[in-house]
Amino acid sequence: MVARKPYPGAHRKLVLAFDIGTTFSGVSYSILDPGEIPRTLGVHRFPGQEANAGDSKIPSVLWYDQAGEVRAVGAQAQLPQVVDQAVTEEWMKVEWFKLHLRPVTEVLPSDREAQRYSRMAPLPERKTIIDILADFMKYLYSCTRTYVIETHASGSIIWASLEAHTDFVLSHPNGWGGSQQEKMRRAAIQAALIPDTPEGRARVQFVTEGEASIHFCISNGLAVDAIKDGKTIMVVDAGGGTVDISTYALKNADDLTMEEVAPPDCDLHRQYFVCCTALKTVVEKLADSKYGNEDDIEEMFKHFDGWAKPVFQSPEEPSYIRFGSMRDKDLAYGIRNGQLTLSGTEMSSLFEPSIVRIKDAIHNQLSAAQTPVNILFLVGGFAANPWLFSQLKQFAQALCLDFARPDSHTNKAVAEGSLSYYLDHFVSVRVARFTYGTRMADHYVPSNPEHQRRHNQLFTWPSGLQAIRGGFGTIMQKASPSDAAL
């Protein structure tokens, strides 16, 4: 573990880090006392997860009734009695809603088949993505409040004294920017987490999932030896909806500050794509079976997503997807004892497109890095899959890269790393993902071939000088470094 400095503030403060993921979400927090060394804590108790005490994440799922009111969220939304009531009363299920927030430049699979098997349903009528985010943030905040009150001595007093002095850290994929941040901030205001004032808005900070991941690796001591040896580190955060890749090199060994050495990359829907492909495969496989109905397929998908996919490790071994009872059997379609059998080859084919895309993204990051990369860290919920890990390990070794995956829960990397970002600020230099600039009118030079081609844009200033409209003045070039404090 890295030695953290005492909190220098004059007043006690609470910091909450929300990791709102495509499929699962979690919360980390820290109570900052002046002169004391901050501790990273997590919310490990949520309604509906009493049978799995200690779980640090909940499904990113909400149920809305016909009136548009929230009826169940997170683990509660998957309880059998809740699902039964939802079906009876025709509630609307909202999952994978985070993808509705994506930039217009990030497109989901365009072919009709991929869209058909997507779990990203349309939003309820009269609901925007800001409304959905606000409802989910409100729920995370409520769960955190209950957890702090119940697990800390004098918890009620602590919460009451800090509620108006709470800062929030919200994480998002590497490819997101100002537009998405503003929507997330508006959702926090709508959820009544902060007031709609300049002071209230200043209580929300944002961090990319890639930067949160490197903070997680450093603050937990996972990357310290590599950093002190002067190695350049690439972090691959393989989550439910995106794969975020960032690369860092040591800038100052004394305080372990890092500098980004390549534009961070973001690849959409990798684990998401595995799920869509699996659903499509099962639907087609059972098209003529009596078990190809919507209810059985839904049960199969739940078991695939929650069990078969996370533990798959070899194309030499079949996977079993449970959905029914011991009496359910259709041997012609690989169904026995209430289980559908998928061969190891079928399973590996579901992963292959995503693995290829991740490898391509790593190759691109290696090419863009300004210094040679030495080690690759794999974190995120998807990183726990043994098959993905083994394939990327072989890939990294072929490139002469050291490869590691934290032995702690990698699905907590973003939530804990976001808190470390707030407390530690290990990254001091970032690299621009795009070229930034502004429109301008360029002084007309008759001999300039480009100006000759744009002669129809020629105009004369009141001063008599001639200029060409439609120019672009560069403020910052893509891949150029900038101070992270800016």
The tokens 């996977």 sit on which residue? 319
**pLDDT per position as a tens digit, 9-24:** 999 999 999 999 998 9
pLDDT band at 214 (very low <50, low <70, confident <90, very high): very high
Does 162 lie in the same domain as 26? Answer: yes
> Rounded to whole angstroms, how far apart are CA atoms 136 and 76?
13
Mean pLDDT of the residues in the chain: 90
Query: Of the candidates 428, 414, 420, which has an alpha carbon nearest to the alpha carbon of residue 15?
Result: 420
Q: Indicate whether 290 and 264 sit together in one domain.
A: no
Q: Does residue 214 lie within any of the structural domains?
A: no
The whole-angstrom distance between residue 45's C-alpha and the CA centroid of its chain comes to 21
* Residues 182 and 260 grouped into a single domain: no
Same-domain check for residues 157 and 22: yes
213-223: b (≥16 Cβ within 10 Å) or e: bbbbbbbbebb
How many domains in the chain? 4
Are residues 373 and 450 located together in one domain of the fold? no
Q: Are residues 385 and 248 in the same domain?
A: yes
Residue 216 lies in a domain: no
Q: 98-112, 167-181, 209-223, 346-360: which range is least confident on average?
A: 98-112
Name the band, by pLDDT with cuts 50, 70 and 90, for residue 481.
Answer: confident
Q: Is the residue at 64 inside a domain?
A: yes
- pLDDT computed for residue 36 by the predictor: 96
Q: Is residue 215 part of a domain?
A: no
**Beta bridge mates, 245:** 236, 265
Per residue in 303-359, pLDDT (tens digit) is 998 899 999 999 999 999 999 999 999 999 999 999 999 999 999 999 999 999 999
* Host H or E run for residue 236: strand 233-238
Across residues 135-158, what is the average pLDDT?
97
Mark whether 155 and 265 lie in a shared domain: no
Residue 285 burial (CB count, 10 A) = 18
Considering only CA atoms, which of 146, 131, 133, 176 is closest in space to residue 29? 146
Helix (H) or strand (E) holding 189: helix 178-190
Does residue 275 share a domain with residue 238? no
Residue ranges making up the domain that contains 442: 436-483
Q: Is the predicted pLDDT of residue 183 greater than 90, yes or no?
A: yes
Reported pTM? 0.87
Q: Categorize the per-residue pLDDT at 1 as very low, low, confident or very high, splitting at 50, 70 and 90.
A: low
Proportion of the chain above pLDDT 70, given as a percent: 94
pLDDT one-digit tens code per residue, 416-440: 999 999 999 888 788 887 888 999 9
The pLDDT of residue 408 is: 60
CATH number of the CATH domain containing 400: 3.30.420.40
User: Does residue 411 fall inside a structural domain?
Assistant: yes
Considering the domain architecture, whether residues 239 and 194 belong to the same structural domain is answered as no
254 and 188 both lie in a single domain: no
Q: What are phi and psi of 39, to 5 degrees?
A: -115, 145
Co-location of 154 and 250 in the same domain: no
Within this chain, do residues 170 and 232 fall inside the same structural domain, yes or no? no
Q: Which tens digit of pLDDT belongs to each residue from 253-285?
A: 777 788 999 999 998 756 777 888 898 899 999
* Residue 114 clears pLDDT 60, i.e. is over it: no
| 2 located within any domain | no
Q: What angle do CA 137, 211, 271 make, to 5 degrees?
A: 70
Provide mean pLDDT across the span 91-110. Answer: 79
d(CA 100, CA 120) in angstroms, rounded, equals: 8
Query: Which amino acid type is present at position 118?
Result: S
pLDDT at residue 52 greater than cutoff 80: no
